[in-house]
């Protein structure tokens, strides 16, 4: 029903919102048309100015606003429970744009020792280039974070579960801490995904995604996204407009298409991950398993409270035999690929000390608790018994080699 008597829309479930997005249209194409045009033509200067004034909602010039990108952004915002969203050409560009939007020379930012290695690099590099200052705090000791705040702290930037150790941060508590000190809470929600954790509802002000991971979900695209209030997205949009890290319309269409199956993929990956983590925890060749779905995980109770559809697709394992055994294990895998990414339908294994966290150096990794024997397993949607068989045979071969 249209018009003033239209009933308020019910809050729909993640699966419905993933398929339908904002679901404003009831006629026309079901799939967003790919408008393959970087620029748009106008009858008059007034018309052009009007389109320009609409900014990201307008169809004027692709770097400013584009209809195919906008459709995907609205779809993602609806799924994430956010007022607005923006697409980027990579997750790194999304995170970098949030920092550039909120940090000026002289400002201070607090981030986790355990956050993604590229984010460490970005924050340290930005401190030298743009004159902000950064302190890293231990995700495992939130009671120490309050001391890190200064009068000029603008952002607390977190991840949960962290990469790769799956440390769980209480997002609502982190938001309270940041807000009490006049700072915003920024969260890289890549590991949980927009359906695995509703970060905005938990109190986050700005949320970033590497859409390369579960949003894209098939290992075939590189992209990023930011979600938040309209006011926050205004600031981030300005950065995107001036620096230009924007995907093309085909990529935006591919991301929107992938959003529709995100809950199904995430649920299947999370169920497989829980089963493998449970079996690995009983395996003699494995020293320790970090997975928030296990009751033995220190963050399990918080994860139960704040994660939805399971506990994520990443399982971190420390194998008995250390670095050499870890290397032998991933080289012996036959079904699981040895590759540096996560969140997709194909299971992947990597050694974070040599991939995602190589930039931290040995001392930085020791501080963050990332050993050279740590294997990060990103669990896909294959049959769980086939995955288990592969892991078992690889662990057995590794035990013979070391
Ligand atoms: C948690 C997390 N955030 C951000 C990124 C960066 O994303 P992208 O590679 O899409 O730039 C990654 C990449 O591995 C990641 O794991």
Task: Please name the residue whose Cα sits nearest to atom 10 of ligand 1.
Answer: 91
CA separation (Å) from 104 to 153, 182, 242, 276? 11, 16, 16, 45
Residues 158-172 have pLDDT tens digits of 999 998 999 999 999
| Model confidence pLDDT, tens digit, residues 262-287 | 999 999 999 999 999 999 999 999 99
> What would the pLDDT profile of 232-257 be if each residue is shown by its tens digit?
999 999 999 999 999 999 999 999 99
Ligand 1 in reach of 114 Cβ (< 6 A): no
| CA of 337 relative to ligand 1 center, distance in Å | 18
Give residue 372's pLDDT: 85
Instruction: Report, as an integer, the average pLDDT of 18-47.
Output: 91
- DSSP element (H, E) containing 351: none
Ligand 1 centroid, distance to 216 Cα (angstroms): 12
If you average pLDDT over residues 139-167, what whole number do you get?
A: 97
Identify the pLDDT of residue 366: 82
- DSSP single-letter state for residue 21: T
Q: Pick from 284, 275, 114: which is nearest to 191 by CA? A: 114
User: How sure is the predictor about 368, in pLDDT bands with cuts at 50, 70 and 90?
Assistant: confident
Strands 337-338 and 84-88 turn out to be unpaired
Of all protein residues, the one whose alpha carbon is nearest to atom 9 of ligand 1 is 91
With H, G, I as helix, E, B as strand and everything else as coil, classify residue 387: helix
- Catalytic residues, by residue number, are 63, 116, 188, 213
Going by their DSSP bridges, the two strands 224-228 and 84-88 should be labelled as antiparallel
Q: Is the pLDDT of residue 10 over 80?
A: no
Model-level pTM? Answer: 0.95
The response to whether residue 312 sits with its C-beta less than 6 Å from ligand 1 reads: no
How high is the pLDDT of residue 321?
87
Task: Annotate 147-180 with three-state secondary structure.
Answer: HHCCCCEEEEEEECCCCCCCCCCCHHHHHHHHHH
């Amino acid at each position: 029903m249209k018009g003033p008597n239209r009933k308020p829309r019910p809050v729909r479930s993640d699966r419905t919102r993933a398929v339908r997005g904002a679901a404003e249209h009831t006629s026309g194409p079901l799939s967003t048309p790919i408008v393959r045009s970087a620029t748009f033509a106008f009858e008059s200067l007034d018309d052009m100015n009007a389109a320009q004034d609409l900014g990201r909602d307008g169809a004027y010039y692709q770097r400013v606003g584009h209809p195919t990108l906008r459709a995907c952004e609205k779809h993602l915002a609806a799924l994430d429970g956010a007022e607005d969203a923006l697409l980027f050409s990579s997750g790194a560009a999304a995170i970098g744009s949030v920092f550039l939007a909120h940090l000026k020379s002289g400002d201070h930012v607090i981030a986790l020792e355990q956050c993604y290695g590229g984010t460490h690099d970005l924050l340290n590099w930005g401190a030298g280039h743009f004159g902000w200052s950064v302190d890293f705090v231990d995700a495992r000791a939130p009671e120490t974070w309050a001391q890190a705040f200064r009068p000029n702290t603008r952002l607390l930037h977190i991840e949960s579960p962290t990469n790769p150790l799956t440390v769980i941060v209480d997002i609502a508590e982190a938001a309270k801490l940041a807000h009490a000190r006049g700072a915003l809470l920024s969260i890289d929600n890549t590991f949980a995904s927009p359906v695995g954790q509703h970060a905005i509802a938990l109190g986050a002000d700005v949320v970033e995604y590497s859409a390369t991971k579960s949003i894209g979900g098939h290992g075939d695209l590189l992209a990023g996204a930011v979600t938040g209030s309209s006011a926050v997205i205004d600031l981030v949009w300005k950065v995107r407009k001036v620096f230009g890290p924007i995907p093309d319309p085909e990529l935006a269409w591919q991301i929107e298409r992938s959003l529709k199956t995100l809950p199904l993929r995430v649920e299947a990956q999370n169920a497989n991950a829980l089963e493998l983590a449970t079996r690995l925890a009983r395996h003699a060749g494995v020293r320790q398993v970090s997975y928030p779905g296990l009751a033995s995980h220190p963050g399990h109770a918080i994860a139960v409270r704040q994660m939805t559809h399971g506990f994520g697709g990443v399982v971190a394992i420390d194998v008995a035999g250390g670095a050499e055994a870890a290397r032998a294990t991933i080289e012996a895998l036959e079904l699981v690929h040895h590759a540096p990414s996560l969140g997709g339908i194909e299971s992947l294994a990597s050694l974070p000390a040599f991939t995602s966290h190589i930039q931290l150096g040995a001392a930085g990794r020791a501080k963050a608790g990332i050993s050279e024997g740590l294997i990060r397993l990103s669990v896909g949607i294959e049959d769980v018994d086939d995955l288990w068989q592969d892991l078992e045979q690889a662990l057995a071969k590794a035990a013979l080699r070391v």
